[in-house]
């Protein structure tokens, strides 16, 4: 059975549409099926990646907090080492080096936030004031100055709980 508008020698197309229209519809259907398949398969990995991203951001925030806390503790440790270094320099009668280390210890303590370093804020503030007020003077009797600097170092060690 041939349609009445069929051209002799040509195969008939569905619904009597031109061949290019049939091809366009077929390609369109294939594209829609492919897009739908891609959409369905991609939503699972994206959700998983979002969860991984949130977990990584939480770990990064914890790491930043820990770094900040460790930097504060390092500032206190640096100040302690500098105070001990000032005592050693003073006992070696190197007054300039002792004064420089004392000033650097005071600067290291100024940059410390007590809540991050895990120390008593009032005690740290008092120690900061004492370190800032301490001076090394050139003299023959270094025992008193050395004892004062050693006492500051001991107070800082007590503040750290050692």
pLDDT digits (tens, 9 = 90+) for 49-97: 888 999 999 999 999 999 999 998 888 999 999 999 999 998 888 989 9
Is the pLDDT score of 146 beyond 60?
Answer: yes
Is the pLDDT score of 1 beyond 50?
Answer: no
User: Dihedral (C-alpha) 46, 50, 56, 62: value to the nearest 10 degrees?
Assistant: 180
Q: What is the pLDDT of residue 117?
A: 81
Place 134 in a pLDDT band, splitting at 50, 70 and 90: confident
Radius of gyration of the chain (CA): 39
Q: How many angstroms separate the CA atoms of 30 and 40, rounded?
A: 15
């Amino acid at each position: 059975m041939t349609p009445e508008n069929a051209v002799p020698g040509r195969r008939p197309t569905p619904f009597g549409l031109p061949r290019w229209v049939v091809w366009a519809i077929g390609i369109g259907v294939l594209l829609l099926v492919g897009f739908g398949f891609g959409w369905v398969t991609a939503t699972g990995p994206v959700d998983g990646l979002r969860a991984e991203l949130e977990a990584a951001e939480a770990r990064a925030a914890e790491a930043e907090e820990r770094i900040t806390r460790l930097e504060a503790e390092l500032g206190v440790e640096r100040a302690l080492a500098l105070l001990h270094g000032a005592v050693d320099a003073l006992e070696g009668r190197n007054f300039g080096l002792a004064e420089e280390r004392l000033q650097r210890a005071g600067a290291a303590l100024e940059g410390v936030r007590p809540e991050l370093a895990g120390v008593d804020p009032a005690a740290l503030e008092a120690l900061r004031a004492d370190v800032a007020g301490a001076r090394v003077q050139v003299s023959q009797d270094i025992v008193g100055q050395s004892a004062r600097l050693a006492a500051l170092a001991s107070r800082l060690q007590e503040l750290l709980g050692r």
